[in-house]
Amino acid sequence: MRVLLFLLISRFGFCELPLYLGIGALSKNLNWTSTQASGKTGFMPFILPSLEFATEWGFIQPSISYTPLGRTMKDDAGKSNLLLMQVPGFYKVTGVKNIMDLILRFAPGIGFEFISGNGGTTILNNGTATQSFTLPGRSIAVINFTISASVGALLYHRFLSGLECLVWSPFSVRRSFGIHFQFAYLVF
């Protein structure tokens, strides 16, 4: 529903705005998420495919990225989806005329992580023994302020691609870093 509302506002509310639709990959918490039972962290614990929506208002380029498939947690304990909304300012460096432009962006934004637990119990290591732990059986939304910087290319004024480095909760001692790849096509 939110996506439909965004599309209607973007296209019909501001008739002259371009609209890019595409796909991407979003990873959160690089080198912080445990990927093994031993507690060892992995550099890239998960990359989620995402849907991309972007438009341009002068030098502002609002965008929404959503991971509809989400990530299933270990032992089917629950599921996690990400939604990233940004309002980046961008600077377009004209490259080869009518072929490619380089785009540099800096973006404040809001990241939402929707976590739904299935409930129940699991057995985990507890020092030298194992113990039964309760799993949450409810849904929550975690909201974080984000800051990102990215470099991208606009090819033939129709294809938009980019690589973005994200900082989740940049003013917290528990900040984390992520990456975001995207590829989008000019629809309108």
- DSSP for 12-51, please give it: IISTT--EEEEEEEEE-STTTSB-STT--B-SS---EEEE
Task: Measure the CA–CA gap between 64 and 114, rounded to whole angstroms.
Answer: 15
Neighbours of 2 (CB within 10 A): 10
The reported pLDDT for the residue numbered 15 is: 47
Position 30 pLDDT exceeds 90: no
Question: Which helix (H) or strand (E) element contains residue 5?
Answer: helix 2-8
Closest C-alpha among 142, 145, 148, 150 to residue 172: 145
Q: Is 122 left (phi over 0), alpha (psi -120 to 50) or beta?
A: beta
What 3-state class would DSSP assign to 178?
strand
Tell me, rounded to whole angstroms, the distance of Cα 167 from its chain centroid: 11
Neighbours of 36 (CB within 10 A): 9
The reported pLDDT for the residue numbered 40 is: 64
Asked if the 23-34+42-96+104-186 domain carries CATH number 2.40.160, the reply is yes
Residue environment code for 82-102, b if the CB has 16+ CB neighbours within 10 A, otherwise e: bbbbbebebeeeeeeeeebbe
Position 4 pLDDT exceeds 80: no
Burial class (CB in 10 A: 0-12, 13-18, 19+), 56: middle
| 10-36: average pLDDT | 68
Neighbours of 28 (CB within 10 A): 26
Q: How many residues does the chain have?
A: 188
What are the structure tokens assigned to 9, written together? 């506002």
CB-based contacts of 157: which residues, under 8 Å, 6+ apart?
A: 98, 101, 186
Average pLDDT over the chain reads: 77
Question: Which helix (H) or strand (E) element contains residue 52?
Answer: strand 48-55
Question: Which helix (H) or strand (E) element contains residue 146?
Answer: strand 139-155
pLDDT, tens digit, 9 for 90 and up, residues 48-91: 677 777 777 767 778 888 888 777 776 677 888 888 888 877 67
